Amino acid sequence: MLTTEPSVHSALPLASIRSQFPSLSQTVNGYPAVFLDGPGGTQVPQRVIDAIVDYLRRNNANTGGAYATSRRTDAMIAEARAAMADFLHCGVDEVMFGANMTSLTFAMSRAIGRELKPGDEILVTRLDHDANVSPWITMAEDRGVSVRWAEMHDEDCTLDMADLASKINRNTRLVAVGYASNAVGTINPVEEIVRLAHAAGALAYIDAVHYAPHGLIDVAAIDCDFLVCSTYKFFGPHMGVLYGKREHLERFRPYKVRPNTNAIPNCWESGTLNHECIAGITACVDYVADLGRHMIGLCAHRRLPHSQPAWSEVERRLSKPGSPEISRRAAIEAAYAAIREHERALIERMISGLKKIPALTIYGITDPARWERRCGTFAVRIENHTPFDLATKLGERGLFTWDGNYYALNLTEHLDVEKTGGFLRIGLVHYNTGQEVDRFLYALQEIAGNG
Ligand SMILES: Cc1ncc(COP(=O)(O)O)c(C=O)c1O
């Protein structure tokens, strides 16, 4: 039944994309592996692996030394900062590296908390990953600050914007919100939330960890004060990256050791960083940019379906007389236009297939008219099956999904699924194919039928 529908048409060069990711060709129990675990961490292209190995082989040193490998390490970190500045659309001195998003957020929450006092309020949301909740709550406990919660609409797992707006007032000092939910795939209206926060004089701290593989991030356009992401979720190594507006990085005081510089952004980075992984960050941003350049090339040669609205901006750019060389930022923009189109087709196929499986509940947006408010991350439950049981059986067939709460604990508790194993989570990214979606749906239907 599931395979009789038209396959997913994609402008992305999927064969060439997939050939760049060595891990995608693995098998499990004789089945080709299908990586539907992107929300827990994506696979990496060979160039990221090469950059990490090359750093360790040729440049391995600490920073700031008066000799070749140390100087090359300094240059490599500067390159990675420039790559992330292009990725996020900010200045190079507004990019900080750290172990992961959680540690960066704990550190920043402590620095911001130094300036807060009893009577001040912060706002967190029910939909967020706990890494954008607990750092703020524990800081609030330390400083005697009140915590307010923005609630969600249970029926489609979107933020209740009226509730959120009603909880921002002149005492609000910070609004912490996710760009996209790592559990149910909802994309939040972050521009509007930043505007509401700023109108009350509050800071906006955006967790873009889950959004980064799916959509273009533009901190200049969003106008957020801080935004954090993790490169291992968008085809890079296990690292966290924090953007902070220059004025805030200069004003707030980091917890730091005395010999470290007072200059931004380094004063916000603690100890010796993971240099080999930082080398991999430039490679992962360049992977995305090269995908964009390829798509721009197709567009220039009129080999893309022109009905796709996402391409009009790319076409406009190309048609400008004397159009300058495509910058890395422009290439990243083009890559995400193509990624969004491809993922949208996969979302469509996944949801229409999931809806046909008896006794299956999808948590999150299922209305095709609202696809722009979701990414390809699906939380489901099937009657008489625990999520762990489903994930285990799927895993035996080489289909990698996740089960549980994936640290979106406030959400699973609120929807009362925490005690019974949370959700089965299926995550699609741009290297997934329509055939993989079909294989997954077929297996899930069979496993569900045998419950
Ligand atoms: C939405 C979201 N925020 C934050 C995190 C935490 O990121 P990290 O592992 O880099 O600390 C995750 C990790 O899964 C996530 O999905």
**CA of residue 106 to ligand 1 center, whole Å:** 12
Q: Concatenate the DSSP letters of all residues of 44-102 into one string.
A: --HHHHHHHHHIIIII---TT-SSHHHHHHHHHHHHHHHHHHHHHTS-GGGEEEES-HH
Distance, CA of 246 to CA of 256 (rounded, Å): 18
The answer, yes or no, to whether any atom of ligand 1 lies below 6 A from the CB of 282, is: no
Q: For every one of its 451 residues, what pLDDT tens digit does the chain have, with 9 covering 90 and above?
A: 334 444 566 789 999 999 999 999 999 999 999 999 999 999 999 999 999 999 999 999 999 999 999 999 999 999 999 999 999 999 999 999 999 999 999 999 999 999 999 999 999 999 999 999 999 999 999 999 999 999 999 999 999 999 999 999 999 999 999 999 999 999 999 999 999 999 999 999 999 999 999 999 999 999 999 999 999 999 999 999 999 999 999 999 999 999 999 999 999 999 999 999 999 999 999 999 999 999 988 877 665 554 454 556 566 655 555 555 789 999 999 999 999 999 999 999 999 999 999 999 999 999 999 999 999 999 999 999 999 999 999 999 999 999 999 999 999 999 999 999 999 999 999 999 999 999 999 999 999 997 5
Does the CB atom of residue 227 touch ligand 1 within 6 A?
no
Nearest to 356 by CA among 450, 423, 442, 451: 442
Cβ-based burial of 291 (10 A; exposed 0-12, middle 13-18, buried ≥19): buried
For residue 155, what are its two tokens? Answer: 């029926």
- Cα angle 369, 372, 377 (rounded to 5 degrees) comes to 105
410 lines ligand 1 (CB under 6 A): no
Return the best residue to mutate from 96, 97, 102, 126 for the ligand 1 pocket (most ligand atoms within 8 A of CB): 102
Q: Is the CB of 209 under 6 A from ligand 1?
A: yes
Structure tokens at 185: 């795939």
Q: How far, in Å, from the CA of 7 to the mean position of ligand 1?
A: 32
Instruction: Identify whether the C-beta of residue 20 lies closer than 8 Å to the C-beta of residue 47.
Output: yes
Indicate whether residue 240 lines ligand 1 (CB < 6 A). Answer: yes
Sign of the CA dihedral 124, 125, 130, 131?
A: negative
Q: Decide: helix, strand or coil at residue 4.
A: helix
Q: How many angstroms is it from 112 CA to the middle of ligand 1?
A: 20
The answer, yes or no, to whether any atom of ligand 1 lies below 6 A from the CB of 277, is no
For the CA atoms of the chain, what is the radius of gyration? 22
